[in-house]
Structure 1
Amino acid sequence: MKSNEMNQKMHADQIEIGPPVPNDLMGKDKAALLLAEADHTVTITAADHGRVLRKIDLTILPVLLTVYCLQYLDKATLSYASVFGLIKDAHLRGQDYSWLGSIVYVAQLVMQPLIAYSLVKLPIGKFVATMVLGWGITLCCMVAATNFGGLMAARFVLGALEASVAPAFIAITQMWWRRIEQTNRVAAWYSMLGVVNMLGSLLTYGLGHIQSRLHPYQIIFLFCGTLTVAFSIVIFFVLPDSPMEARFLKGDDKLIAIERLKANQMGVASRVWKWDHLKESFLDIKTWFWFAMIFSVSIPSSGISTFGPLIIQSFGYDSFKTILFNIPFGAVQLVATLGGAYLATHWKRKGPVLLLLCVPPIIGCVILIAMDHTASHRGVLLFGYYIISFYPGISPLIYSWSSQNTAGDTKRKCTTAFLFIGQSAGNIVGPHLYTPSEAPRYLRGLVSNLIMFLVIILLVVLTTLYLMFLNKRHAKRRVQVGKSAEIADQSMMDKKTWNKYEGGAHSGNNGQQSFEKAFDDETDLKNEDFVFVY
C-alpha cells in the first residue's frame, strides 16, 4: 500500500474519498492541490479579474436564480391552492392547513445533518441536480393527493428534497466569489422570493382560469412540477462541482478563479470531513447568534408566507383579486432584498442594514394589530401588509454574514446546517401562530411577529460586538507571530482598491495580508489572518 494511502487511513479525525494526494497537502483544500500541480503561477490583472468574474456570473448565477425561483414557486403552491378551494376540497380542519405549511420544514430540519455531510463529500453540481429532479417529480405527484394524509406525505418528501437548496447555494457562493461579492449574489438568488410573489401570482391567476376536470390547484401543482423536472436536466450539464472542475473556464482561468479567492481565507472545497470543525462550529458563540437570528425571522416569514393570501382575503377581496393584490408584496420584497444587499456591500457592514430592515415590518405589524379589518380600512391595512414584506431582506444578510465569517470546509457546511435547523424550527412554529379560526385579525400571529423583529435587533447588536472582539483577538495573535496587528482585508476591497494589489500574495508584514493559510482548510478561529466582517 502506498504511503500516502496509509496516511489517509491513519487520520482518525478525517474521512476522505478520492485519489491519493501528496503528504504535504493532506487535509488541505483541493484548490491547494490544483495550484501545486500547475507548472506556473498567475498574476491577476484588472482585465483578468473582470473577465473571469463575468464568466462566473453568466454561468453560475442564472442557474442559482432559476432553481431558487422554482423552489419557492413550488413551495408557494400551497398558499395559492388555499385560495382556490384546497382547504374545502381536501376536508382540512383545525390545524390541518397549518401542518401542511410546517411539515416541509420538519423534513428540512431532519435532513440538515445529512445535507451538511453530503455537501462536503459529494460533487455539489450533480447533487443539486438530483435533488431538484426529485422534488419536481414529487410536486407532480401531489395532483393525486386529495386528503390530509396524502398531502402531508407529499409535502414531507418535498421538504426533504428541497432541504439541500439554500445550504448548497451558500456553499456555491463561498466557492466562487470573493467576500465583498458574496452579499449581492446571495441577495440575487434570494430575491427570487419577490419575483415569485409577483410572477407566481400572475401565473396562478392564469392557471386558475383553465377549465379542466382537474381542480385549479391541481393544475398549479402539475405545471410547476413539470417545469422543475425539465430544469433539473439543465442543472446537471451546466452547474460545475467546483472551480477546479469547471469546463467553462479555459486555460489559466481556473487558476485565476482560485487565486481570486485567496484573500477570503476560507478555502474552496476539500471533500474531507473533519470532526474537529464540527466541534468548533457547535461551540462557536457566533454560530448560535446567527441561529437565533434566523430562527427569529423565520417565525414571521413562514407564518406570513403561508397565510399571506388569506390575510389579504380577510380585507374583503375575492380569490382572484386576492392573488393580484399579492403582487406588490413581492415587489417590496425584491426592493428590500436587493436594496439591503447593496447598502451592506457599499457600507461593508451587515449590522446597521439589518437594523434598518427591521423597522418597516415592526410598523406594519403595529398597523395590522391596531386597525379594524373592515372594508373602510382596506388601504391602510394593505399598506401595513406590504411594508411587513421588508422582512425577506433580513435572511440573505444573515446567510452572507455567517458565510463571510466562517472558514474551513466542514465548519462552513456545519454552520450553515445549524442555521437551517434554526430556520426550519422557526418555519415550523410560524404557521401555527396563525389559524383560519382567528381570521380576520390573526392577532396571536401578528403580535408574535412583532416580538421576533425586536429580538432580531438585540441579536444584531450582540453579534456585532462579538465580531469586533474576535478581530481584536486575532490582531494580538498576529503580533505574537511577528505580523502586523492591522492588515488590509483584500477580500472586502472594492474593485478599484483591489486592482492596486493585482491579486498578488503579500508577506503579512506592514499591514499587508498573508495568504499562507488561505487553502490550508483552517477555521476562522484558528487562522490569525482571518478578518471578521461586522
Structure 2
Amino acid sequence: MWCMPVILMVYFLQQLDKSSLSYTSVFGIVQETHLVGSQYSWLGSIVYVAQLIWQPVSSYALVKFPVAKWLFVHVLMWGVIVSCTAAAKDFKGLLAARFFLGIFEATVAPCFIIITQMWWRRREQTIRLSAWMAMNGVASAVGSLLAYGIGHIHGSLKPYQVIFLFIGLLTVVCSFVVLLVLPDSPVKARFLSHEEKIVALERLRANNQGTEAKVWKWAHVWDLLLDPKTYLWFSLLFLCALPSGGISSFGPLIIKGFGFDPLQTILFNAPFGIFQVIITFAAAGIATKTKLKWPVIFALTLPPIGGAAALLHLGRGPGMKNKLLGCYYVLSFSTGLQPMLYTWASQNTAGHTKKTATTAVIFIAQCAGNIVGPQLYRTNEAPYYHRGLIGNLVCWIALSGLTLVTAAFLALRNRQQAAKRRFLGKAAIIVDVSLEDTKTAAKAQAENEQREKAEGAEPAVLNTKAFDDLTDNQNEDFMYAL
C-alpha cells in the first residue's frame, strides 16, 4: 500500500517520458526539426548512451546514499528535462535534452530492483517486479491515447511541443510523492512499528541475499567478475534489449508503414501496450506457480520469432493492413522477456554490493542493446525495415538457445552447492523455502530441519549466514532459482 503504488507511478512516468519521442514522430517532429539520415535513430539511442555512462556512478551511489532520496532527485530532474525538450528546434537541441533524460532515468530500474529485494521474498519478487515492468505497457497504451488527443489540438505550439510539456510537467508534480511517501528501507519506514520492522527483515532470511549495507565491498566485485553467470546475464539482456530498443523507437513508424494515417497509427499502437501488460502478468503468474523461469522465457521467444519472420515475408499492399498489424501485435510477446530476465538475474545473486553491481551489469547490457537496436532501423527504409526485422529475428533465436544454456548452468551450480553442504555436515538436498507460498513454507522449513537432524547437524545451522552480506558463491545455503 505504501511502496508499490509509488513504484508503479514512477515507472509509468519513466516509460511515458522515454516514449514521448515515438509519439512525436507521428506528428511531424522529423520534419519540424529538420532531422535527416540517422538523426532520429540517434535520438532513440542517445538516451541509452547516457545511461551507459551514468550506470557505474549510479550503482556506487545506490550503496552510499538513501535509495528513496536519490530516486526523488532523479525523477524531478528528468521531468524538468522533458518539459524543456519542447523548446528544442533542431537536432542538437533534441540530442542534448535526450542525453540528460538518459542520465536522470538511469537510476530508476536499479533502484526498484534493490527495493524489491529489500522488501519481498524471492517468491513474491517475480509478480512485483513484473507489475512495475508492466507499466511499460500501460504507459504505451495511455501515452498513445494522450498523443491522439493532443494531436487534435491546434494552437500556437506544435503538437510535439505540447506532448513534451504535458508529460514533463506531470512528472515534476508527481516526483514529490516519492519524497513524501517512499521509505529508504524497511528499518526507516514510518508506517512500521519496531516489531514490524524486525518481521520485515526476518521474513527475508530464506532469501539468503543479505539486506541493505552502506559499505562498498570490492571482494563482491571480484566475485562478480569471476562468476560465469555475470556474462550469461549480460548476453541475455543484450539480446532482449536490442529488438526492444528498435521497436520502442520505430513501432509507430512501422505501423504507419502498413498504410495508416498518423491518428490511426497512434490508436493502433495502444493495443500493443495492453498486450504487454497481459503477457507480463501471465508470464509472472506461470513462473511463480511453477517456480521456474527458464521454460517461460524460452516460450516467450517463440511467438516474436514467428511474427518477425511473417513481417519479413509479407508485402505492404493496401489489402495487407490487417495481417501486418496482427503480425506486429504478435511481437508483443517479447515484452514479457525483460521482467522475467530481471527477476531471474536478481533472484540468483546475493551480497549487497554484488547485487548492486549485477544490476549495473544487466542495465549496461540493456543500454548497449537499446543503443544498437534503433541503429538497425532507418527512416529511409520505410515501410519494410528489413535490416531491423532481421536483426530482431536473429536476437530472439539466439536468446532462446542461451536460455537453455543458462538453465543448465544454474542446475550445475545447485549440485555444487549441495556438495558444499554435504562436506560441511549439512543436508545436501533441501527445499528452497523462499520460493514457497505462505501455506507450504512452514511445512517445507520443517522438512529441511528434519533433513538436518538426519545428517547429525543442528536444524538452526540452516540460513544462519543469510544476513552476513555474503555473495551467493560464499554462502552454501544459497539455492539458485531455475
TM norm structure 1:
0.88
The answer as to whether partners of 1:105 and 1:424 remain within 8 angstroms in 2 is yes
Aligned match of 1:531 = 479
Q: Is the 8 A contact 1:508 1:514 kept in 2?
A: no
In structure 1, what is the equivalent of residue 352 of structure 2? 409
Give 2:114's match in structure 1, choosing from 171, 188, 204.
171
Q: Which amino acid aligns with 1:277?
A: H
* Structure 1 residues 215 and 508: alpha-carbon distance in aligned structure 2, compared to 1, 3 A threshold: farther
Shift of 1:335: 1.2
Match of 1:514 in 2: 462
- The 1:484/1:137 distance shift into structure 2, 3 A limit, reads same
Aligned to 2:276: 333
The equivalent residue for 1:158 is: 101
The equivalences for 1:292-441 within 5 A come to 292-441=235-384
Equivalent runs, 1:109-508 vs 2, <5 Å: 109-500=52-443
For residues 298 and 165 of structure 1, the distance between their equivalents in structure 2, rounded to whole angstroms, comes to 17
Q: What residue number does 1:102 align with?
A: 45
The alignment partner of 1:191 has SS state of helix
The structural deviation recorded for 1:507 is 9.2
CA spacing shift, 1:504–1:62, aligned 2, 3 Å = farther
CA contact (8 A) 2:250 2:374 kept: yes
Paired letter, 1:518: A
Letter in 2 for 1:113: P
Residue number in structure 2 paired with 1:28: none
In structure 1, stretches of 5+ residues that fail to align are: 1-57
Q: Distance in 1 between matches of 2:447 and 2:288?
A: 23
Distance of aligned partners of 1:189 and 1:504 in 2 relative to their CA distance in 1, 3 Å threshold: farther
Shift of 1:342: 0.8
Q: 1:369 to 1:320 in 2, by over 3 A?
A: same
- Verify the 8 A CA contact 1:260 1:503 in the aligned structure 2: no
Note the C-alpha offset of 1:88.
0.2
Q: Deviations over 1:64-102 (max 9, x none)?
A: 111000000000000001100100010000000000000
| Structure-to-structure mapping, 1:31-50, within 5 angstroms | none
Q: Any idea what SS the aligned residue of 2:472 has? A: coil
Partners of 1:313 and 1:322 within 8 A in 2: yes
Contact 2:74 2:104 in 1 (8 A): yes
Counterpart amino acid of 1:519? F
Give the secondary-structure state (helix, strand or coil) at the position aligned to 1:167.
helix
Query: What is the CA–CA distance in structure 2 between the aligned matches of 1:507 and 1:107, rounded to whole Å?
Result: 53
Between the aligned partners of 2:249 and 2:469, the Cα distance in structure 1 is 40
CA distance in 2, matches of 1:78, 1:503: 54
Hey, what's the Cα distance between the residues in 1 that align with 2:230 and 2:433? 24
Could you tell me how far apart the structure 2 residues matched to 1:104 and 1:508 are? 52
CA contact (8 A) 2:86 2:165 kept: yes
| Shift in CA distance, 474/223, structure 1 to aligned 2, threshold 3 Å | same
- Offset of 1:237 from its aligned partner? 1.1
The within-5 A match list for 1:3-82 is: 58-82=1-25
- Count of matched residue positions in the alignment of Structure 1 and Structure 2: 477
Between 1:473-482 and 1:99-108, the stretch displaced more is: 473-482
Structure in which a larger fraction of residues adopt helix: 2
Q: Secondary structure at the match of 1:390?
A: helix
CA contact under 8 A between 2:431 and 2:444: conserved in structure 1? Answer: no
TM-score by length of 2: 0.97
Instruction: Report if the CA contact (8 A) 2:430-2:448 is conserved.
Output: no
Structure 1 residue 211: deviation in Å? 2.3
Q: Residue deviations 1:197-220, cap 9 Å, x none?
A: 111111111112122211111111
- The answer as to whether partners of 1:143 and 1:222 remain within 8 angstroms in 2 is yes
